[in-house]
């Protein structure tokens, strides 16, 4: 691992002096500039190896980048250079939208957490697809997931059409597609996780995928991203629903609206989704429950609160096939990718030895 990968803690104080959204944009733009220069690209490059599979897709390692970091698919190659086994871009909506008013991101440094209420801010499906087509990540052996959602202005009763438009647009360019029905920042979106509404949505998507599979001569896996704020009964109901509609995997989980873990923080009153360290322990029993309900062959991606390698290994031990990072990168930097792969490899060896 290069010095430049390890040196993120030196840059973090300067980034944390900025507004979180400004720091996010500056980091991505700087990363892209470094990637555009061959010399600095090599200094930032890492590719920790731990071959595995996800939904039948071969991964160089099972550590991915979660959706939200690159909403417009504009930085796929630069982010891929940091060693992820797979990248998920989006969430993209059919039409461009500004998202919620600023400020809409807040750091809870003491808790190693973030609160965001971005609201699917993105440049729309056509720009997203154009950016994805420019990337070379898949040609280099990377696995690319594309995450789709609904526009804020679309009534929840019309949400299915937005998801169908998204699936139609991204299908030829994706290794897998994620259906995001769990963001807390689009009004009423989470009600799509309810039994009848979920079945209705997934039924339409199942039919659309059958048609697209014939049209493009390939079957692209579909995954559903769920919230961490569901009851055990709701999780079981979702788990029972997914195989009925040939869904290939579940991502557990999105951000939480629960503030118990950060109740004393001065930003705790901010609306939006909480991510970061408080989510790790919250997601483990959800992953365990999903694995028990769905069986050994169903794909589960564990997300939430991975701040060090051991957390990734614990997600796998709970039943996940792979993990995704986001807020941990904000606090730990890109060295977290290799740390996670190393910890997962060590756990794998220990399990084999026993």
Three-state SS at 234 = helix
Radius of gyration of the chain (CA): 19
- Tokens linked to 135: 């990337």
Could you tell me which residues come within 8 angstroms of residue 211 by beta carbon, excluding any fewer than 6 positions away? none
Give the N- to C-terminal CA distance of the chain in Å, as an integer.
30
CA angle 68, 239, 70 (to 5 degrees): 10
Give the model's pLDDT for residue 1: 61
pLDDT tens sequence for the chain (354 residues): 666 688 899 999 999 999 999 999 999 999 999 999 888 888 788 889 999 999 999 999 999 999 999 999 999 999 999 999 999 999 999 999 999 999 999 999 999 999 999 999 999 999 999 999 999 999 999 999 999 999 999 999 999 999 999 999 999 999 999 999 999 999 999 999 998 999 999 999 999 999 999 999 999 999 999 999 999 999 999 999 999 999 999 999 999 999 999 998 989 999 999 999 999 999 999 999 999 999 999 999 999 999 999 999 999 999 999 999 999 999 999 999 999 999 999 999 888 887
Give the model's pLDDT for residue 38: 85
- Tokens linked to 216: 């493009």
Give the model's pLDDT for residue 208: 98
Q: DSSP H helical segments within the chain, as ranges?
A: 3-6, 8-16, 20-36, 38-44, 76-80, 125-134, 159-170, 195-216, 232-244, 279-294, 309-318, 327-332, 335-353
Give the model's pLDDT for residue 44: 80
Q: Is 324 exposed, middle or buried (0-12, 13-18, 19+ CB in 10 A)?
A: buried
Give the model's pLDDT for residue 3: 60
- Tokens linked to 220: 């692209």
- Whether residue 40 lies in the annotated active site: no
Q: Which one is catalytic: 40, 52, 111, 183?
A: 183
Q: Is 4 exposed, middle or buried (0-12, 13-18, 19+ CB in 10 A)?
A: middle
The CA–CA distances, whole Å, from 11 to 5, 16, 317, 346 equal: 11, 9, 33, 30
Nearest to 223 by CA among 301, 163, 338: 301
Q: In the beta sheet, which residues pair with residue 59?
A: 52
How many other CB atoms are there within 10 angstroms of residue 90's CB atom? 28
What fold does the segment set 47-353 form as a domain? TIM Barrel (3.20.20)
CA distance 1 to 10: 16
CA distance 19 to 16: 7
Give the model's pLDDT for residue 46: 83
Give the model's pLDDT for residue 243: 97
Chain CA centroid to CA 299, Å: 14
Give the model's pLDDT for residue 248: 98
- Tokens linked to 71: 């909403």
Residue found by looking up tokens 């901010």 in the block:
270
Asked whether 48 and 342 are in contact (CB, 8 A), the reply is: yes
Give the model's pLDDT for residue 353: 87
Residue found by looking up tokens 């630069």 in the block:
78
Give the model's pLDDT for residue 281: 97
Residue found by looking up tokens 């963001």 in the block:
183
């Amino acid at each position: 691992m290069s010095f430049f990968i390890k040196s993120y803690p030196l840059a973090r104080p300067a980034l944390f002096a900025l507004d979180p959204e400004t720091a996010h944009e500056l980091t991505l733009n700087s990363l892209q500039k470094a990637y555009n220069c061959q010399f600095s690209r090599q200094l930032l490059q890492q590719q920790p190896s731990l071959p595995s599979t996800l939904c039948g897709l071969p991964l160089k390692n099972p550590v991915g980048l979660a959706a939200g970091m690159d909403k417009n698919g504009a930085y796929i190659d630069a982010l891929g250079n940091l060693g992820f086994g797979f990248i998920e871009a989006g969430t993209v909506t059919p039409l461009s939208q500004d998202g919620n008013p600023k400020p809409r991101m807040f750091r809870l440094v003491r808790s190693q957490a973030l609160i965001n209420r971005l609201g699917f801010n993105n440049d729309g499906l056509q720009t997203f697809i154009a950016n994805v087509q420019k990337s070379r990540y898949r040609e280099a052996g990377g696995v690319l997931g594309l995450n789709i959602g609904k526009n804020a202005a679309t009534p929840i009763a019309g949400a299915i059409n937005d998801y169908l438009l998204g699936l139609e647009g991204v299908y030829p360019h994706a290794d897998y597609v994620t259906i995001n029905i769990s963001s807390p920042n689009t009004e009423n979106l989470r009600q799509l996780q309810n039994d009848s509404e979920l079945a209705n949505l997934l039924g339409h998507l199942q039919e659309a995928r059958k048609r697209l599979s014939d049209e493009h001569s390939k079957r692209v896996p579909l995954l559903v991203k769920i919230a961490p704020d569901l009851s055990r009964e709701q999780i079981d109901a979702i788990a029972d629903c997914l195989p009925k509609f040939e869904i290939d995997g579940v991502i557990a989980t999105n951000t939480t609206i629960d503030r118990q873990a950060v109740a004393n923080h001065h930003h705790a009153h901010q609306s939006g989704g909480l991510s970061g360290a408080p989510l790790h322990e919250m997601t483990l029993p959800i992953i365990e429950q999903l694995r028990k309900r769905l069986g050994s062959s169903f794909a589960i991606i564990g997300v939430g609160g991975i701040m060090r390698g051991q957390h990734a290994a614990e997600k796998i031990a709970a039943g996940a096939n792979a993990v995704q990072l986001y807020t941990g990168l904000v606090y730990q930097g890109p060295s977290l990718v290799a740390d996670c792969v190393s910890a997962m490899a060590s756990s794998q060896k220990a399990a084999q030895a026993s």
